[in-house]
Structure 1
């Protein structure tokens, strides 16, 4: 037996194990389940609905149906503004360490007639904070009824796209597409004509789902 050949072969095996070991360990390590944080207002907080009927709960069910392992944290509060979301987000990021953050805020800014520049600044700050924490972001846009005035309505609707483009994050331009702009729109809303009925929430999820799935 040639001892030099044996030693050389043994050395090659050791080197191969040393270099391959970490890679194999990383490949076989289980991935941490994704966490989706929804930061929204009453449109996401199931206002006027029974628990489990809103689009956020339906999204959790869709994840299970499609065998996608992810936990959904609904941090939405009825009446919340972009200022409120901006102040709450840092603690939520630290607590939940989300893989994906869905920002659905702004409608209450418009209802209160707040400056669009303020809304845009708050949206941008939230997106930046989520990105800095390592989260992927989906920005959910909103549009206003014509009675808010054409100029204000256009500025408000455009701000979501401007923030998404500047920060290079995913965007759903209009959360209520197929609901608020439907020919029979009123049948999709509660008596206050602001909050969608339960039957509208599957449509809302269908609008958001392709973007959520892509981020996961």
Structure 2
């Protein structure tokens, strides 16, 4: 073992802050079954020293996340911030430009504290109309490109088209869906944490 590997083996654990909505807050499923809890388990199995703080709240919008973020950054001093917000803005038909401005500001605040950001994207159901759904989906890509933050284009890839993977409300994934969600997020997340 070289001096460098010894140093990395004993480096301080990274802090990961997840700021999300019900999709990250284990809505309707057992505690420990959501993708954030599964992420923590995977980090341990991969022997990556990290502490995961799940600051997700069911019903959270981008404006709510933006309002809460400064205190969270000050309290936890994260190395990585995962932003999984926007679904509730979209479901309420809120203006895309305001959601976009909130996401940009959250990334700016996180980067100002030397945290790397992973942006998690979402799609709206087709009944919201093609113009809105496309504008909403493309917003995440634009924010990702402009802020140089990696993007998970659609966290429900492989889930959204399978009704059996949703709870009775048809909005929230079942526990069985969360390993798939983690698999969608892990490739971008792992490359980010390994750069730290």
SS in 2 for 1:36: strand
Shift of 1:35: 0.5
- Structure 1 pair 28–212 and aligned structure 2 pair: CA distance change class (3 A): closer
Shift of 1:163: 0.3
Summarize deviations over 1:70-91 as a string: whole Å, max 9, x none: 0000000000000000000011
> For residues 1-216 of structure 1, what are the structure 2 equivalents within 5 Å?
30-181=10-161, 185-216=162-193
Structure number, greater radius of gyration: 1
Shift of 1:115: 0.2
The ranges of structure 1 where at least 4 consecutive aligned residues each deviate by more than 6 angstroms after the TM superposition are none
The whole-number CA distance in structure 2 between the counterparts of 1:132 and 1:36 is 16
Shift of 1:32: 2.1
The whole-number CA distance in structure 2 between the counterparts of 1:60 and 1:142 is 22
The whole-number CA distance in structure 2 between the counterparts of 1:109 and 1:186 is 23
Shift of 1:28: 5.1
Gaps of 5+ in 2: none
Summarize deviations over 1:93-125 as a string: whole Å, max 9, x none: 011110100000000001111100000000000
TM-score (norm 1): 0.85
The whole-number CA distance in structure 1 between the counterparts of 2:7 and 2:81 is 27
SS in 2 for 1:159: helix
User: Are the counterparts in 1 of residues 82 and 117 from structure 2 also a CA contact under 8 Å?
Assistant: yes
Shift of 1:31: 2.5
SS in 1 for 2:106: helix
User: Are the counterparts in 1 of residues 120 and 154 from structure 2 also a CA contact under 8 Å?
Assistant: yes
The whole-number CA distance in structure 2 between the counterparts of 1:111 and 1:160 is 16
Summarize deviations over 1:109-150 as a string: whole Å, max 9, x none: 011111000000000000111101100000000001110000
The whole-number CA distance in structure 2 between the counterparts of 1:32 and 1:164 is 28
Gaps of 5+ in 1: 1-23
